[in-house]
Structure 1
């Protein structure tokens, strides 16, 4: 299976947190946290449609300015989700600049910023050509764990405790459509944009009788297939990817339960590991996880793979110690979970 998402941490384990998730079959990307984003070139930044901010400590939010600089003057909408206070934080960033000339921009750049609270999501819209001044009250919808729902994917969240509200996230693909290229060749069908429309129809649950137009590239010839027939001929449906992202969470029973729920059966879990278990008292004071706890949670959640990040600089040169501690805890937890199954 060729995955739909290729997630990568933007910085090393001692750098600012941030997970960049480009879409393989689309010029689009998600971003989880927006710390230092200098490693992303302008083309990557312009792919970002949604940003999911865990909290607004400087190392998780300082990249907002670079995003703003690259997107100004573009015809683009960026959706930002964050914890309580994110509106105030974004407005503070925007207030730091003078916007007297933006009405001359021809393109429409918009920020949709959603503040996540235990029961509601409040969304404010900031238009560049309005100098980012608010023109209408926030739109409010209930929050029951899901931030975003599209035909092919969803993003869910848990509100964790970092002595302030801090969001953890999970990106879940509904299912994965594998195109069998040997079947395309056998049918004489070319690869092209029509495949994206075909997949979109599957994700939207369209009727099997719906016709899919396939341009053959020969004198503008078009061949038409019923969706159900084409799916049976060229596609294999498999479970979708799940990617979880957890950072800056105190090691409390409530947080542990929420993290396990968020990361349940994840293909990849990106989880902070600020301290070693021998320094757990410091971890408690700073409301962070230890490497041991991070590995154990990954195993208890059944995550198939996990990646550590957000190491304290006190461990510079000792990265492998953190990895080894988490790996040992992971395998212990996996064995323990397996022994409980009938």
Structure 2
């Protein structure tokens, strides 16, 4: 049964199996933008997906989270736009090495560019790789981080925190923008008549310009709708709008279960509705999990008990459990309000066996 997520604008799709390299795609419904979290199973993405790809978020540069960037470059190269990449310190240098591994002597003006943002604890450092110039790195600006937000549109924001995996590994939270509904009773009590001005009010809210200029509304006078100019639009907005719960998605991949990481997760992921989190080892291999800076199912149960998300999807199980994957779900013990989402073991095309390959060549020498 497909879960009924509570999101208004976010459409999440996990494009990997339980033991595959992780890849999460989130589509923003109102503007059609696509956001990619880690670059594992990229070959399952349809080509049309890349035409709407706006930003990529890399947790860390281990091979299983980063190697798919080559396929992304290949699909985007002729898109004539700039795609943003966010990752931990050093990700720009790794992107530079990726791009320098190819010859770019036949560049075109319509090629894409990449703007890579290194997310440090206190700053974000940017570099630009312009395709028309052969992707030669250009150092960009350094901005201070005043909060956790690293990317934002009118419909969502992406936040990041740094955890330890013997290297910096970013965890992400995707928040829908606050949503509001019209209080119809309040509308009537103020003798206001619905009309196009309500759409303009919403448009200003999404653009962050609620109190920019006066707004012409419709008011009921002598039984007829008459125009009225409202100067204090922010006050009108506050009177008419009913706030709805702000929904969010969490993404945690490859961290250790240190006290500091746990504290960061509990604070950062509090109230999250849908949580994607690595569960690399079973409880019996807890020592092995912590020695390799990963989580086991016992650790996950502690996280779920604290966070209580509505939905939880475990991912990135070690390939050593390929014949024992069902044990993971039996070991997970979430609180009653949390639903565990199960995914196939693998969704990669299986390799052909030798007996399935025909080596016979249809060749007739008389023709």
Pairwise mapping of residues 212-223 of structure 1 onto structure 2 (< 5 A)? none
Which range moved further: 141-150 or 48-57? 141-150
Moved over 6 A (4+): 223-232
CA distance in 2, matches of 1:110, 1:210: 40
1:307 to 313, 328, 331: 313
Pairwise mapping of residues 1-342 of structure 1 onto structure 2 (< 5 A)? 3-102=8-107, 104-105=108-109, 107=110, 109-135=112-138, 137-144=139-146, 145-177=148-180, 199-203=202-206, 204-207=208-211, 237-326=243-332, 328=333, 330-331=334-335
CA distance in 1, matches of 2:294, 2:96: 28
- Identify the residue that residue 340 of structure 1 maps to in structure 2: none
CA distance in 2, matches of 1:310, 1:235: 42
Greater C-alpha radius of gyration: 2
Displacement of 1:140? 0.6
Consecutive unaligned residues of structure 2, counting only runs of 5 or more, are 1-5, 184-193, 218-226, 339-367
* Secondary structure of residue in 1 paired with 2:26: strand
Task: Answer 1 or 2: which has greater helix percent.
Answer: 1
Using a 3 Å threshold, how does the CA distance of structure 1 residues 287 and 298 change in structure 2: closer, same or farther? same
Which range moved further: 291-300 or 20-29? 291-300
Deviations 1:132-189 (A, max 9, x none): 1134x33111234321244433211111111111100101123135699xxxxxx899
Using a 3 Å threshold, how does the CA distance of structure 1 residues 225 and 236 change in structure 2: closer, same or farther? farther
Deviations 1:218-239 (A, max 9, x none): xxxxx9998899989x986412
* Secondary structure of residue in 2 paired with 1:113: strand
Using a 3 Å threshold, how does the CA distance of structure 1 residues 225 and 294 change in structure 2: closer, same or farther? farther
Deviations 1:79-104 (A, max 9, x none): 111111101110011011111111x3
Using a 3 Å threshold, how does the CA distance of structure 1 residues 279 and 151 change in structure 2: closer, same or farther? same
| Equivalent pair of 1:263/1:303 in contact (CA under 8 Å) | no
Displacement of 1:18? 1.2
Aligned-pair Cα RMSD in Å: 3.2
CA distance in 1, matches of 2:297, 2:103: 44
- TM-score relative to the length of structure 1: 0.80
Displacement of 1:325? 1.9
Using a 3 Å threshold, how does the CA distance of structure 1 residues 2 and 255 change in structure 2: closer, same or farther? closer
CA distance in 2, matches of 1:225, 1:130: 52
- Identify the residue that residue 364 of structure 2 maps to in structure 1: none
Using a 3 Å threshold, how does the CA distance of structure 1 residues 169 and 75 change in structure 2: closer, same or farther? same
| Equivalent pair of 1:4/1:24 in contact (CA under 8 Å) | yes
CA distance in 1, matches of 2:307, 2:7: 24
Deviations 1:102-148 (A, max 9, x none): 1x33x25221101122222110011001111134x331112343212
Consecutive unaligned residues of structure 1, counting only runs of 5 or more, are 181-186, 214-222, 335-342
